[in-house]
Amino acid sequence: MIQKQVNQKAWFMVLPVFLIVAFSAVIPLMTVVNYSVQDTFGNNVFSWYGLGWFEEIIHSPRFHDAFLRQLLFSGIILAIEIPLGICIALAMPKKGWGVPVCLVTMALPLLIPWNVVGTIWQIFGRVDIGLLGHTLAQMGINYNYVQDPLAAWLTVIVMDVWHWTSLVVLLCYAGLCSIPDAYYQAAKIDGATRLAVFRYIQLPKMQRVLLIAVLLRFMDSFMIYTEPFVITGGGPGNSTTFLSIDLVKMAIGQFDLGPAAAMSLIYFLVILLLSWVFYTVMSNVGEESKGGH
Amino acid sequence: MKTKWIVPTLYIIFLLLPIYWLLNMSLKNNTEILSVFSLWPQDLTLDNYRVIFNDPSWYSGYINSMIYVSINVVISVSCALPAAYAFSRYSFLGDKHLFFWLLSNRMAPPAVFALPFFQLYSSVGLFDTHLAVALAHCLFNLPLAVWILEGFMSGIPKEIDETAFIDGYSFPKFFVKIFIPNIASGIGVTAFFCFMFSWVELLLARTLTSVNAKPISAIMTRTVSASGLDWGVLAAAGMLTIVPGALVIWFVRNHIAKGFALGRV
């Protein structure tokens, strides 16, 4: 660990970043706070409403439903993508021409604009023109993501797995590549089984990157908006209306600024709490792994 | 050992199938898409691509996206470099809080900021400019850039700085001549990530533009709803949005894994 020197002038180096982020973050956030405590009757006439919107949102079943759906979605996503990502990373080649091929093709979905990802899966899943939808229909499976909530959920989940598992794979792969060959040789001499190698050599080395993977995936799936919006528009009914979709519906669709702002703040506080946990856990793990050497 | 290939191969097929299907559709005409179900184009046509390249309202979207993404990458990397250096080398008043505050913006859902951004940039007269989108994307790209660069910089031993100062280098000269070449791969990876997140984002880009700076992804959504679902052109437009990403990945393929670990492996 680098011994850091105390130097208050370092603030000048951070200043540009501070100013730009403050401009794009603090001013809009204040606008949101401003809306959240006021009521409007149109014509730009605003009146003080106190914490009324917050109480309303916290007690509204609509918010509860969206929140639960969001938690369920993020939970399922993590349960699938993390183990799958580890498996694929373990099976990836370490050298030869396979490495760049794997890395490039696997990173490809990450660089497709999110609404195009939505469009790809919207087309892919359609019963009339999509490969997936058509094949399932041929097999006699009743699959229609426009009308059936279960099919809509499955489509959105498979799409997210398609879109983001590579992130987990690449992170784990980076962790695995940092293990020196000597470790494996030592394990071989000791006659360690494949499972023991995974448990005692690979998993500890991947711990840090796995943490990043889990938390990044959790946050990003918690904020998901564009892809399900393009595929299902939050439907059928409200079955795939996640928090962000609900928020945009309320703020821009219905122009209910007060409740939308209150919901934004609650949403943001949840995320802030999570990122604080993330940050603390991350730095603790960092200290531990450094202390261990 | 042979069986080990099965898992990555299956996974890559799973990844490429939907993309192949999009490519397949982009090379068919609409009658074929809707009437015949075929695994490859029976009647290969490039008409869909021709539509896009001949219509300014289509291809200007690509130019707009490229412009604001480039502005964003330049702002993010150039501002994040000194900041990341400060975080990795010095401790100063409130540094940990500042770092956490920056990161919390990376975690902020864009949906929260869409409407206030619209009002903010309208009031300063930046609405529908490339700069507005670039600045808005700085909200999550700058913290990310600082984070990744800080990871890479912390891996450079401090002795390098000290030796350079003893040799009589001034700070700016040391930074440009010695330090930046040392973290060149880190800078490449950071630029890649800024490109990536600015390129794929739609919600803010769409909210902050109407005509002059409208990104390609927003133009796509408009066409889907308005002109009665021109599947072929839609697929072709989608394919073209994949190309820049694929090109960029090729350049950073050797460092990409380390970059995804935020320089902290």
Interface confidence (ipTM) of the complex: 0.84
- Residue A68 · residue A242 · CB < 8 Å: no
Amino acid in the structure at residue A88: I
Helices B184-200 and B130-154, axial angle in degrees (round to 10): 140
Q: Looking at the DSSP assignment, which residues form a beta bridge with residue B55?
A: none
Q: Looking at the DSSP assignment, which residues form a beta bridge with residue B91?
A: A6
> Looking at CA atoms only, how far is residue B124 from chain A in angstroms?
12
How far CA A277 is from CA of A271, A272, A273, A291, B248, in Å, comes to 10, 9, 6, 21, 33
Each residue's pLDDT tens digit, A202-213? 888 787 778 778
Say if residue B222's pLDDT is above 70: no
The CATH number of the domain covering residues in A62-292: 1.10.3720.10
Q: What is the pLDDT of residue A80?
A: 94
Q: Who contacts B120 (Cβ-Cβ below 8 Å, separation ≥6)?
A: A27, A28, A31
Nearest CA in chain B to A210: B261
Instruction: Answer whether A219 sits within 8 Å of B238, measured CB to CB.
Output: no
For residue B80, what are its two tokens?
Answer: 């994040």
Which residue from A10, A17, A209 is facing B146, i.e. has the nearest CB? A17
Say if residue B64's pLDDT is above 70: yes
Q: Is residue B73 very low, low, confident or very high in pLDDT (cuts 50, 70, 90)?
A: very high
Q: Is residue B207 very low, low, confident or very high in pLDDT (cuts 50, 70, 90)?
A: confident
Alpha carbon distance A106, A171 (integer Å): 12
- Of A138-152, A266-280, B125-139, which has the strongest mean pLDDT? B125-139
Let me know if B3 is exposed, middle or buried by CB neighbors in 10 A (0-12, 13-18, 19+): exposed
Q: Within 10 Å of residue B243's Cβ, how many Cβ atoms?
A: 11
Q: What is the pLDDT of residue B228?
A: 58
Higher pLDDT, B189 or A108: A108
> Looking at CA atoms only, how far is residue B182 from chain A in angstroms?
17
| B152: nearest Cα among B119, B114, B190 | B190
Q: Is residue A186 very low, low, confident or very high in pLDDT (cuts 50, 70, 90)?
A: confident
Say if residue B227's pLDDT is above 70: no
- Residue A50 · residue A37 · CB < 8 Å: yes
Alpha carbon distance A113, A123 (integer Å): 15
For the four alpha carbons of A119, A125, A129 and A135, in that order, the dihedral sign comes to positive
A250 at interface of B, judged by CB pairs closer than 8 A:
no
| B139: nearest Cα among A48, A35, A220, A22 | A22
SS3 assignment, position B53: helix
Let me know if A155 is exposed, middle or buried by CB neighbors in 10 A (0-12, 13-18, 19+): buried
Each residue's pLDDT tens digit, A65-100? 888 998 899 999 999 999 999 999 988 888 778 888
Taking contacts as CB-CB distances below 8 angstroms, the residues of chain B near A162 are 14-15, 18
Q: Looking at the DSSP assignment, which residues form a beta bridge with residue A5?
A: B90
How far CA B77 is from CA of A2, A16, A17, B224, in Å, comes to 23, 11, 10, 35
Please give the domain boundaries of chain B with CATH numbers for all domains. 1-45 (no CATH), 55-260 (1.10.3720.10)
Give the mean model confidence (pLDDT) for residues B42-55: 83
The ranges assigned to domains in chain A are: 62-292
Q: What is the pLDDT of residue A287?
A: 62
Instruction: Answer whether A116 sits within 8 Å of B220, measured CB to CB.
Output: yes
Say if residue A165's pLDDT is above 90: yes
> Looking at CA atoms only, how far is residue B185 from chain A in angstroms?
15
Say if residue B165's pLDDT is above 80: yes
- A-B CB pairs within 8 A amount to 290
SS3 assignment, position B90: strand
Each residue's pLDDT tens digit, B117-147? 888 888 888 888 899 899 889 988 998 899 8
Q: What is the pLDDT of residue A215?
A: 79
Which residue has 């850091």 as its token pair?
Answer: A4
Q: Looking at the DSSP assignment, which residues form a beta bridge with residue A47?
A: A39
Taking contacts as CB-CB distances below 8 angstroms, the residues of chain B near A165 are 11
Q: What is the pLDDT of residue A292?
A: 41
| A67: nearest Cα among A77, A78, A57 | A57
Amino acid in the structure at residue B196: M
Alpha carbon distance B107, B130 (integer Å): 23
> Looking at CA atoms only, how far is residue A213 from chain B in angstroms?
8
Alpha carbon distance A135, B39 (integer Å): 11
Instruction: Answer whether A116 sits within 8 Å of B89, measured CB to CB.
Output: no
SS3 assignment, position B224: helix
Interface of B with A in 74-103 (CB under 8 A): 75, 79-80, 82-83, 85-93, 95, 98, 100, 102-103
Instruction: Answer whether B12 sits within 8 Å of A166, measured CB to CB.
Output: no
Q: Who contacts A126 (Cβ-Cβ below 8 Å, separation ≥6)?
A: A133, A134
Instruction: Answer whether A20 sits within 8 Å of B79, measured CB to CB.
Output: yes
Q: Within 10 Å of residue B161's Cβ, how many Cβ atoms?
A: 20
Interface test with B, best of A3, A6, A19, A21 (most B CBs within 10 A): A21
For residue A251, what are its two tokens?
Answer: 């703020």
SS3 assignment, position A271: helix
- Residue A37 · residue A48 · CB < 8 Å: yes
Instruction: Answer whether A28 sits within 8 Å of B12, measured CB to CB.
Output: no
